[in-house]
Structure 1
Amino acid sequence: MSHPEIMRALSGLLLGMFTAILSSTIVTNALPRIIADLGGGQSAYTWVVTATLLAMTASMPLWGKLADLYSKKLLIQTSLVIYIAGSLVAGLAQSPAMLIAVRVVQGLGVGGLVGLSQIVLAAMIPPRERGRYSGYLGATFAAATVSGPLIGGLLTDGLGWRWCFYIGVPVALAALVVLQRTLRLPVTRREVRIDWPGALLVSAAVSLLLVWVTLAGDRYAWASWQTAAMVGGSLALAALFLAVEARASDPIIPLRLFRDPTIALASGASLLVGVAMFSGTVFFSQYFQLARGDSATMSGVLTIPLIAGLVLSSTVSGQFITRTGRWKNWLVAGGVLVTAGMGLLGTTRHDTPYVRLALFMALMGLGLGALLQNLVLATQNRVGPRDLGAASSVVAFFRSFGGALGVSALGALLAARVADYTREGVAGLGAGAGGAAQAPEGSIPDPERLPAPLRAVIENAYGHGIGDIFLYAAPTALLALLIILGIKETALRTRL
Structure 2
Amino acid sequence: MEEHPLANSTHLGNGEQSVTHAVLVDAPKRDWRFWFSFLAICISVFIAALELTGVSTALPIIVDDLKGTEFLWAGSAYALAATAFIPFNGGLAELFGRRLVLLWSLLIFAGGSALCGAANSLNFLIAGRAVQGMGGGGLASLTQIILSDLVPLHDRGKFNGLIAMSYGIASGVGPVIGGSLAQQGQWRWLFYLNIPICGFAAVLVFAFLRLRVPPGTFWEKTKRIDWLGNLFFVACTTSCVIGLTWGGIQFSWGAAQILVPLLFGLIGLGCFIVYESKVPTNPIISFTLMSTRTGFSGYLQTFFTSIVLLAVIYYLPVYFQACKGASPIASGVDVFGTAFSIVPAGILSGLSIAKTKQYRPQLWLAWVLIIIEMGLLSTLNADSSRASAIGFQVIGGCGMGILVTSAYFPVLAPLPVSKNANAIAFFMFCRNFAQIWGVTIGGTVLQNMLRLRLPDKFLASFPQGTAIAYKVIPLLSNLEEPLKTEVRDAFASSLRVVWQVMIGVGALGLLASLAMEHLPLHTSIDEKWGIADSEHKQNNTL
TM over 0.5: yes
The question of whether the paired residues in 2 share the 8 Å contact of 1:139 and 1:315 is answered with yes
Letter in 2 for 1:462: F
Letter in 2 for 1:220: F
3-state SS of paired residue (1:29): helix
**Other-structure match for 1:475:** 504
Structure 2 CA distance for aligned equivalents of residues 482 and 315 of structure 1 = 25
**Other-structure match for 2:47:** 19
Letter in 1 for 2:414: R
Greater mean alpha carbon deviation, residues 479-488 or residues 190-199: 190-199
Letter in 1 for 2:143: S
Structure 2 CA distance for aligned equivalents of residues 118 and 214 of structure 1 = 29
**Other-structure match for 2:179:** 153
Letter in 2 for 1:167: L
The question of whether the paired residues in 1 share the 8 Å contact of 2:451 and 2:459 is answered with no
The question of whether the paired residues in 1 share the 8 Å contact of 2:240 and 2:263 is answered with no
Q: What's the Cα RMSD here?
A: 1.8
The question of whether the paired residues in 2 share the 8 Å contact of 1:88 and 1:169 is answered with yes
CA deviation vs aligned residue, 1:17-37 (integer Å, no higher than 9, x gap) = 111111111111111101111
Structure 1 CA distance for aligned equivalents of residues 483 and 189 of structure 2 = 32
The question of whether the paired residues in 1 share the 8 Å contact of 2:242 and 2:262 is answered with no
> Of 37, 50, 66, which residue of structure 2 is paired with 1:9?
37
Letter in 2 for 1:467: R
Structure 2 CA distance for aligned equivalents of residues 395 and 362 of structure 1 = 26
Q: CA deviation at 1:11?
A: 0.6
Q: CA deviation at 1:337?
A: 0.9
Letter in 2 for 1:21: A
Greater mean alpha carbon deviation, residues 386-395 or residues 150-159: 150-159
> Of 130, 139, 149, which residue of structure 2 is paired with 1:123?
149
**Other-structure match for 1:456:** 485
**Other-structure match for 1:98:** 124
**Other-structure match for 1:80:** 106
Show the 5 A alignment for 1:344-363: 344-363=376-395
Residue 100 and residue 81 in structure 1: after superposition, are their counterparts in 2 closer, same or farther (change >3 A)? same
Greater mean alpha carbon deviation, residues 129-138 or residues 412-421: 412-421
Structure 1 CA distance for aligned equivalents of residues 185 and 262 of structure 2 = 43
Does 1:52 pair with 2:83? no
CA deviation vs aligned residue, 1:159-205 (integer Å, no higher than 9, x gap) = 51111111111111111111122222222246551112222222222
Q: How many residues align structurally?
A: 485
**Other-structure match for 1:429:** none
The question of whether the paired residues in 2 share the 8 Å contact of 1:68 and 1:388 is answered with no
The question of whether the paired residues in 2 share the 8 Å contact of 1:122 and 1:380 is answered with no
> Of 147, 158, 163, which residue of structure 2 is paired with 1:132?
158
Letter in 1 for 2:128: V
Does 1:491 pair with 2:483? no
3-state SS of paired residue (2:56): coil
Q: Which runs of 5 or more structure 2 residues have no equivalent in the other structure?
A: 1-27, 526-542
CA deviation vs aligned residue, 1:206-258 (integer Å, no higher than 9, x gap) = 21111111111123222333443223211321122112201211100011212
Letter in 2 for 1:232: L
Q: CA deviation at 1:440?
A: 5.7
> Of 225, 243, 263, which residue of structure 2 is paired with 1:194?
225
> Of 380, 395, 413, which residue of structure 1 is paired with 2:445?
413
The question of whether the paired residues in 1 share the 8 Å contact of 2:367 and 2:507 is answered with yes
Residue 435 and residue 183 in structure 1: after superposition, are their counterparts in 2 closer, same or farther (change >3 A)? closer
Structure 1 CA distance for aligned equivalents of residues 182 and 511 of structure 2 = 41
Using the aligned pairs only, state the percent identity: 28
Q: Which has the higher helix share?
A: 1
Q: Which runs of 5 or more structure 1 residues have no equivalent in the other structure?
A: 427-433
Structure 2 length as normaliser, TM-score?
0.86
> Of 239, 243, 248, which residue of structure 1 is paired with 2:270?
239
Greater mean alpha carbon deviation, residues 94-103 or residues 258-267: 258-267
Does 1:310 pair with 2:342? yes
The question of whether the paired residues in 1 share the 8 Å contact of 2:309 and 2:438 is answered with no
Does 1:181 pair with 2:213? no
Structure 2 CA distance for aligned equivalents of residues 392 and 11 of structure 1 = 20
Letter in 2 for 1:483: A
Letter in 2 for 1:206: T
> Of 139, 147, 151, which residue of structure 2 is paired with 1:113?
139
3-state SS of paired residue (2:454): helix
Structure 1 CA distance for aligned equivalents of residues 235 and 299 of structure 2 = 20
The question of whether the paired residues in 2 share the 8 Å contact of 1:269 and 1:484 is answered with yes
The question of whether the paired residues in 1 share the 8 Å contact of 2:294 and 2:410 is answered with yes
